[in-house]
Structure 1
């Protein structure tokens, strides 16, 4: 039906045009526009992940800070129970605990976030331009933001309210935090592929990885002071190398001798390649009918 304007002129119908626009997929005209579209999707998905558990994003950050603080207090109490009242290194005792807890937390949280980021079977991934790369990147970005804010707030509070602290090479120390973050994302990518084939198995493997790192990450030990017979139990874990190298950058009087920086970098790159190949194969083979009998 043709509508008329206030001046009596005829106006063409717009219903069919609106329907056509509604069901037309948006396409990027060039690489730059596609890049900005993807970055915008990653940003909005990261914000969604931050507000997913709590409507107020500030409360979500406070919960993350509280969890990290509880870890630090728990390990401090454990050391006091064992009779250890000073740092095994020449430096602040609490800073020694923080250097292990922070690196461990970002690795574990990122692996868990990526493993549950959403597989190729999720409904949201079916809608372009959303894809698994965007969901994985959004999960990693939100985890990095939460843990970075948590680290800064806790360090600032301890430096201001308790005692002044000095980090010898803060930029290099934060670089180790980023390396731990990338390592956790690479491991989580493999767990994400496993969840697409068997959701229960993926959850079990993710939990097992997080629990094993509670011990084998070496955050409670100093690598230079460990007996030679115990080192092979820990040196296979790239997180053990990252934590020990972090303490080398945090404390001026500590130089790691039993760990190196190249091993976790190579392992992270290799695990990333394996995870990307596993995700590619899973995306091509995945079927909704897999979950029909579960």
Structure 2
């Protein structure tokens, strides 16, 4: 008579509840970076701008402007930096998302997949906002820009983020076993991509033996393909965005399998030994 009867929810209601949870996790992830949400977004924009200026002056100093695509050199630098920042920030956000031993997992509607999606979407929001603001200011104040195929360029931007999410899931699933080691590996991978992403060079201009140094990296393919969509005078011949798609899907499947295995064996007492 007095037994509590749970309210029956439809699949549509459950879907909206999941989206709401993802939204709140994304907001929480963004607010963790800074107490002031607006200032946190401004700091993200400043970080991207600093990376952009450093790459611009470095490439100008070492005489690398002559190997760039014929067109706006600043836009050439932006096409590499924005893809690079989106990729590594997605790896960092997903790899540090709440895992199976997190306190957040004690709340009933919460699960690791929602945590991963919230962290990934929060990272994408930050980098999209940063790129949009910098492009708008450059277009309005310094030099009007023209993108040959904006939809294709946006697709490569999202693919850079998606491949970062896949790689981040592999690191996330391994983190409960060896948190310190995985943290070091994430930092090494992010730092190595400063060079290994190939954002300072064009695939068409590289010799075959030099191109082999970058071919393994999905970010190298998305950056080169993005420049093909941005510039009318450049057609990528040695990169393929399908490779980045397959790479990301394989990493995501490996990450999901590892995360499921870790969830079955994870214990809150693991960190007590450290």
Q: Do they superpose with TM above 0.5? A: yes
| TM-score, reference length from structure 1 | 0.89
Question: For the residues of structure 2 that align with 1:293 and 1:44, how far apart are their CA atoms?
Answer: 32
Runs of 4+ in 1 over 4 A off after TM superposition: none
In structure 1, what is the equivalent of residue 148 of structure 2?
Answer: 168
Question: For the residues of structure 1 that align with 2:172 and 2:34, how far apart are their CA atoms?
Answer: 24
In structure 1, what is the equivalent of residue 85 of structure 2?
Answer: 105
Larger of the two Rg values belongs to structure:
1
Q: List aligned pairs for 1:221-236, cutoff 5 A.
A: 221-236=201-216
Question: For the residues of structure 2 that align with 1:187 and 1:28, how far apart are their CA atoms?
Answer: 38
1:87 to partner: Cα distance: 6.2
Runs of 5+ consecutive residues of structure 2 not aligned to the other structure: none
In structure 2, what is the equivalent of residue 30 of structure 1?
Answer: 10
Residues 1:247 and 2:227 are matched in the alignment: yes
Question: For the residues of structure 1 that align with 2:59 and 2:271, how far apart are their CA atoms?
Answer: 47
Whether contact under 8 Å (1:248, 1:256) holds in the other structure is yes
In structure 2, what is the equivalent of residue 70 of structure 1?
Answer: 50
How many corresponding residue pairs? 273
Q: List aligned pairs for 1:41-120, cutoff 5 A.
A: 41-85=21-65, 88-120=68-100
Runs of 5+ consecutive residues of structure 1 not aligned to the other structure: 1-16
Superimposed CA distance per residue, residues 12-41 of structure 1 (whole angstroms, 9 cap, x where no aligned partner): xxxxx9xx99xx9x7662211111111100
In structure 2, what is the equivalent of residue 179 of structure 1?
Answer: 159
Superimposed CA distance per residue, residues 72-101 of structure 1 (whole angstroms, 9 cap, x where no aligned partner): 100111112213445611110000000000
Superposition CA RMSD, Å: 1.7
Question: For the residues of structure 1 that align with 2:63 and 2:12, how far apart are their CA atoms?
Answer: 59
Question: For the residues of structure 1 that align with 2:184 and 2:87, how far apart are their CA atoms?
Answer: 17
Stretch deviating more after TM superposition (48-57 or 281-290): 48-57
In structure 2, what is the equivalent of residue 256 of structure 1?
Answer: 236
1:45 to partner: Cα distance: 1.1
Residues 1:193 and 2:170 are matched in the alignment: no
Question: For the residues of structure 1 that align with 2:45 and 2:132, how far apart are their CA atoms?
Answer: 10
Whether contact under 8 Å (2:59, 2:200) holds in the other structure is no
